[in-house]
Structure formats: C-alpha cells, structure tokens
Structure 1
Amino acid sequence: MNADIIFKYFPDLTPVQKSQFNALYDLYHTWNEQINVISRKDIDELYIRHVLHSLGIAKVMPFKPGTKVLDVGTGGGFPGIPLAIMFPESDFHMVDSIGKKIKVVKGVATSLNLTNINAEQTRAEQVPDHYDFVVSRAVTRLKPFYQWVKNKFRPESFNTFPNGILYLKGGDLDEELKEAKKKYQLFELSQYFDEDFFETKKVVFVPVN
C-alpha cells in the first residue's frame, strides 16, 4: 500500500515528506504485530482512516513555522505524526497515558527521522508547558477535554486562527457542543476529502483566548 491518496490532496509535498508518508504503512504494520495500536480491520485502511483523517486538521489550519502543538491521547501517533510530517518547522508534544502506545510513537518517529516530535507517557493535566494549539482525535467529550487543556495555551497568537483546540470528531455533535458551552467553529471534512469515510467527520475549533 502506498500513500497516493495523501499526494492527491496534498500535491506540494517535498520528496522527503513523500518518502515519510510512503513509509508509514510498513512501519505501522510491523509495530502493530508487536503492540496493537490500530484495529486489524483498520490497518489496511491506514491512509484514509488514520493518516488522511489526521490531515483534516492541516486543511483547516496550516501551522506556521514555530507553532507548538500538544497532541493529547495520541494513541499510536494520530493526529500528531502525520501533522509532524506535514509541518516539519512546527513542534509536536505527543502524550498518552499508555506507555506501549508512546513506545510505538517513538519508534515510528525515529524510523522517519522526525526531529520535531517529543513523545511522553503522561496525562494532559500534568503537562507543564504551553502551546499554540491542542489537537486530538475523539478522546472524550469536548466539555471534559476542555477542562484538561484550558490552561495549556500561550497568551499570544500568530497563526491564522487564535490559539485553541482542533478536535477531530464524528457523527452528530449538537448535544456535545451545547453541553460544552464554548464558542466554536465546525469544519466538515467532506468539504476537503471525497471518500465516504469523511461524510460524518469534522474538525471542531475552540478558541481559548
């Protein structure tokens, strides 16, 4: 399996980026046999369901050089690893409470020579640093997630959007967004990607400053 679907939607990648994206399938296939971080049925759909899904954030918010991003509950490295490939001049701190998942993230990052990733076994609430954006993929409902990360942001913004949360979610979010009682913008990933998988997938942007 190769990364042609990625190149279709992101045609301006460098040769290094293309090589890194192409390497992801074999890397995750190998790691998944040791530590199951992606379901067996999903591994063959890696590029659509995991890599391209993660890059929905890149369509909504292209990070400027120097942007600091916290990936909470990264699991096997999503959305952080695809975003770190896409934005090599931004820094990604990827955290998960499960150590074996962070082992996979570190292994993949090392194999890809990604020097803009710091992966750590910890919880979001225990992270002392501050960031421009927090990204995540459906770790929990937005209201508790906001409480975990609300104090993790730098005061000054320099990207297109003000600093905040970029959250990958799916399905009907009306009740969840109402419960959170926060300002937000909703981006339908079906605007950017043609595949059926993205019909119900969204990026929720919640500014925090």
Structure 2
Amino acid sequence: MTAAPDPTPSGVELLQQYFTAFTPVQLAQFEQLGPLYAEWNEKINVISRKDIDALYERHILHSLSIAAVGNFAKGSAIIDIGTGGGFPGLPLAIFFPEVTFHLVDSIAKKLKVVDAIAKTIGLTNLTTQHTRAEEINNKKFDFAVSRAVAPLKELWGWSKPLLQHKNRTAGNELAPALLCLKGGDLAAEIQVSGTKPKQLSLSALFPLPFFEKKFLLYVPR
C-alpha cells in the first residue's frame, strides 16, 4: 500500500507554495538553511529549541512575508534592526540578490552564526555589524526591517533617522519606510507609538495556524 502524501509540506516545498519564481541558486541556498541552522543552533542558541523543527514556517516564510507585499528595487539598501539569528534579513537577502542588506544586533555571537551561514551559502549582498541601531549615525537606508524586536515607538525612533527622505532608487514601489513583523493585539502599542502604520494580517497571505495573529506593519518616513 502506498502511503498518503503529507498534506503539509515542509522545508523549501513550503516556500514554493507561496513563491514560485526562485532560481536554482536561490533554491539551493534556501535548502541549505535547514541543516546549517540546526548545526549552528547546537553551538549558539539563536532559535528556540521548540522552533528549530519549524524553521521554514516560523522563521523563513515569516521573514519572506515582507517580500510578498513589497518589491525592493535593484540597488536598494536595507537595514535589519535586531536581526538575532538573521531574521528577516538573511532570507530576504536570498530573495533579493541585487539588494544590499545590513544586519545589526547587540549580541556578537548571534552575528557570528549569520556570517558563517551567509559565507557557506555564498551570500554576498549581506553585511553585519555588532552595534545598536541607535548608535549608527553615518549610514542611510531605503528601508528598515525588523521582527519582534521592540515596541513600535522605540523601533520607529531608531529607524526614522536611518531612512532616506525620499526614494533614491528607481523602481521602489514603496516610499522609504520601516517594515516590521509583529504578533498579537497591537492596538495599544500603535496608539502610543505616534505613528499611523498600515497593518496587514499575514494570515491573508499564508493560511496557516502560526500566522493567525501575525502582522506586518508598514510605517512610511
């Protein structure tokens, strides 16, 4: 008797349910992330133990939700604030090979993992910096991205000074902005933030239980 197929794909197959234009190079890079993160997570904990088996859904696909709603034009510069183990910046750097990503975090050992994985998969459009976003004063970016880092008020305070005042790269569909991934009830957090973000429910993009209370906030400069 032939076993019934698994109705819930995992790994790269899960990504391909929602993104269909990956190149062979991108597919190979995404495929390597699973074993690489599993290996490094044994040495340096960058992903919770309960989440490592759901890496592609809870970390990679979650990060790529930003790509599902906005196209970064060739030559754009993106800062990932509080990247931790490389999310959302590293998956986005694979997705947008002609865009540069600068990933910052205050914990150096996490960036060691990011650097090692990026080098192993041949990712050349990604740099890291051991610092806090509020300490950067000599760089400007087209967009800032983040995932579950800090309350929106603080996050916007760090991001706004780093953003260009207007699009400098032809083809960007969005104005310079913060794009942040958050979860739960955000009403009070948004109210005290002093911003008026556009809020997108990720369950509209990915009809999976994990995304039911996950949101993308778009805060233009």
TM-score class, shorter: over 0.9
Distance, in Å, in 2 between the alignment partners of 1:8 and 1:19 is 16
Which residue, 116, 119, 137 being the options, matches 1:110?
Answer: 119
Question: Does residue 1:81 correspond to 2:90, yes or no?
Answer: yes
Q: In the TM superposition, what is the alpha-carbon distance from 1:183 to its structure 2 partner?
A: 2.2
Question: Does residue 1:161 correspond to 2:174, yes or no?
Answer: yes
Alignment: residue pair count: 208
Preserved contact between residue 60 and residue 187 of structure 1 (Cα < 8 Å):
no
Listed as ranges, the gaps of 5+ residues in structure 2 are 1-9
Could you tell me which residue of structure 1 aligns to residue 69 of structure 2? 60
Q: In the TM superposition, what is the alpha-carbon distance from 1:200 to its structure 2 partner?
A: 0.6
Distance, in Å, in 1 between the alignment partners of 2:194 and 2:155 is 13
Q: In the TM superposition, what is the alpha-carbon distance from 1:31 to its structure 2 partner?
A: 0.4
Question: TM-score scaled by structure 1?
Answer: 0.97
Could you tell me which residue of structure 2 aligns to residue 35 of structure 1? 44
The 4+ residue runs of structure 1 with deviation greater than 3 A are none
Deviations 1:36-72, CA, capped at 9 Å, x for gaps: 1001110000000000000010111121111110000
Q: In the TM superposition, what is the alpha-carbon distance from 1:2 to its structure 2 partner?
A: 3.2
Deviations 1:68-103, CA, capped at 9 Å, x for gaps: 100000000000010000000000000000000000
Secondary structure class of the residue paired with 1:45: helix
Could you tell me which residue of structure 1 aligns to residue 145 of structure 2? 135
Question: TM-score scaled by structure 2?
Answer: 0.92
| Cα RMSD after superposing both structures | 0.9
Distance, in Å, in 2 between the alignment partners of 1:204 and 1:15 is 31
Which residue, 149, 161, 185 being the options, matches 2:159?
Answer: 149
Q: In the TM superposition, what is the alpha-carbon distance from 1:190 to its structure 2 partner?
A: 0.8
Larger radius of gyration: 2
Listed as ranges, the gaps of 5+ residues in structure 1 are none
Preserved contact between residue 75 and residue 101 of structure 1 (Cα < 8 Å):
yes
Percentage identity across paired residues of the two chains: 49
